Amino acid sequence: MKIAFRTDASLQIGSGHVMRCLTLADALKAQGADCHFISREHPGHLLEVIRQRGHEVSCLEMYGQPSQPVPTSQTKKIGDPQWGPAHTAWLGSTWQNDARDTASILASLKPEWLVADHYALDHHWEEVLAPHYRQLLVIDDLADRFHHCDLLLDQNLGSRPRDYAALVPPPCELLIGPNFALLRPEFAALRSYSLKRRRAQPALRHLLISLGGVDQPNATGLVLQALRTCALPPECRITVVMGLTAPWLQEVRELAMHMPWPTAVVVNVDDMAQRMVDSDLAIGAAGSTSWERCCLGLPTLIVVLAENQRAGAQALAAAHAARLVGAVGDIAAQLPEAIHELIDPRRAANLSLAASAITDGRGVEKVLKAMGIADA
């Protein structure tokens, strides 16, 4: 069985779309499928990471930005052909050029499934490519455009099937909510131990900071500066996780050298689940990694790095499954108070318990079953 993925990473897009597709691709490969990624070579791409995971990659040509970027206000005009999707400028091409180039690759692959995870693509692109795949899985978070697909996955807390009722054809099966979150198997494997550890209400001795693989706005640097004014325990140590393409990586390393607590900066780690298990508190972005932290019951202060993360972050806060710090501009003012609250082990334990109820980490198994993959 051949499975094709159309997804991108860049300094603007971030790494989350590619990373969750890689999680699904790894699981499909374990079932005997051949997975082939189709991605554009944006600045900050992850093409080599995909190859290192054992998957084929085809690179799409860069055409530059579309001539008429879409203003944010147009997100409310779903399907307006004058503008297209709200994130059109993320594509690095027109959707017509993207569809033509993708079709030339799919024509030889003849995949059983195409997986599309890209905010800049909608039903126009999907319908043009329909002759080149048997079934289509769309991964979305926004419910802001029409899709022509067989399966739609939105793993966000607070998303509802009715959000997509008018945006997909009637036969489309909807997989909605964090129970379908695409987490690597090590998170489910470590869940029991992690939750048991947190029931003992450990004191804050290890703080984990992970604000996305790219962190374009340098939220990590702002967090480190704000932490200098916080009353962390003297025995606390800090680990900062970043991606190799993060534009502020060197500045963060320099800040880390002058922190009042031992602070390590690590890059492109492959043991994130274990690092979360070993941490007592996290400061993290409100993206896909939220479900990893919830699975392990890791108490978290969440920062909204992009507007499309806000609804998910607010849903987590409403469920008392995370403490919302706010947007990047709120870090300096809000982080010290949030840290002060969660130094209390009882408050951290309550947050952990609510977070652990959000997902059990077995979403990939559920998605494979919906795709009809053998032995799922």
Is residue 267, in this structure, part of any structural domain at all? yes
Is residue 134, in this structure, part of any structural domain at all? yes
**Whether residues 179 and 259 fall in one domain:** no
**9-58: pLDDT as tens digits:** 998 898 899 999 999 999 999 999 999 999 999 998 999 999 999 999 99
Structure confidence at residue 63 (pLDDT): 76
**Whether residues 305 and 367 fall in one domain:** no
Structure confidence at residue 69 (pLDDT): 44
Structure confidence at residue 374 (pLDDT): 64
**Whether residues 202 and 305 fall in one domain:** yes
Is residue 324, in this structure, part of any structural domain at all? yes
Residues of the chain with pLDDT under 70: 64-83, 374-376
Domain count for the chain, please give it. Answer: 2
Structure confidence at residue 161 (pLDDT): 96
**Whether residues 40 and 126 fall in one domain:** yes
**Whether residues 109 and 144 fall in one domain:** yes
Is residue 301, in this structure, part of any structural domain at all? yes
Is residue 376, in this structure, part of any structural domain at all? no
CATH number of the domain that residue 53 is part of:
3.40.50.11190
Is residue 137, in this structure, part of any structural domain at all? yes
- Give the 3-state secondary structure of the chain: CEEEEEECCECCCECHHHHHHHHHHHHHHHCCCEEEEEEECCCCCCHHHHHHCCCEEEEECCCCCCCCCCCHHHHHCCCCCCCCCCCHHHCCCCHHHHHHHHHHHHHHHCCCEEEEECCCCCHHHHHHHHHHCCEEEEECCCCCCCCCCCEEEECCCCCCHHHCCCCCCCCCEEEECHHHCCCCHHHHHHHHHHHHHHHCCCCCCEEEEECCCCCCCCHHHHHHHHHCCCCCCCCCEEEEEECCCCCCHHHHHHHHCCCCCCEEEEECCCCHHHHHHCCCEEEEECCCHHHHHHHCCCCEEEEECCHHHHHHHHHHHHCCCCEEEEEHHHHHHHHHHHHHHHCCHHHHHHHHHHHHCCCCCCHHHHHHHHHCCCCC
Structure confidence at residue 100 (pLDDT): 96
**Whether residues 192 and 106 fall in one domain:** no
**Whether residues 214 and 334 fall in one domain:** yes
**Whether residues 99 and 174 fall in one domain:** yes
Which strand ranges, in their side-by-side order, compose the sheet holding 151-154?
56-60, 34-40, 2-7, 113-117, 135-139, 151-154, 173-176
**182-241: pLDDT as tens digits:** 999 999 999 999 999 999 888 999 999 999 888 999 999 999 999 999 999 999 999 999
Is residue 307, in this structure, part of any structural domain at all? yes
Domain range for residue 151?
Answer: 2-183+361-371
Structure confidence at residue 61 (pLDDT): 84
Is residue 221, in this structure, part of any structural domain at all? yes
Structure confidence at residue 331 (pLDDT): 97
- Record the pTM: 0.89
**Whether residues 334 and 223 fall in one domain:** yes
What torsion, rounded to 10 degrees, do the Cα atoms 6, 12, 16, 19 define? 60
**Whether residues 109 and 76 fall in one domain:** yes
Structure confidence at residue 70 (pLDDT): 43
Structure confidence at residue 33 (pLDDT): 96
- Burial of 53 from C-beta contacts in 10 A (0-12 / 13-18 / 19+): middle
**Whether residues 97 and 168 fall in one domain:** yes
CATH number of the domain that residue 264 is part of:
3.40.50.2000
**Whether residues 278 and 202 fall in one domain:** yes
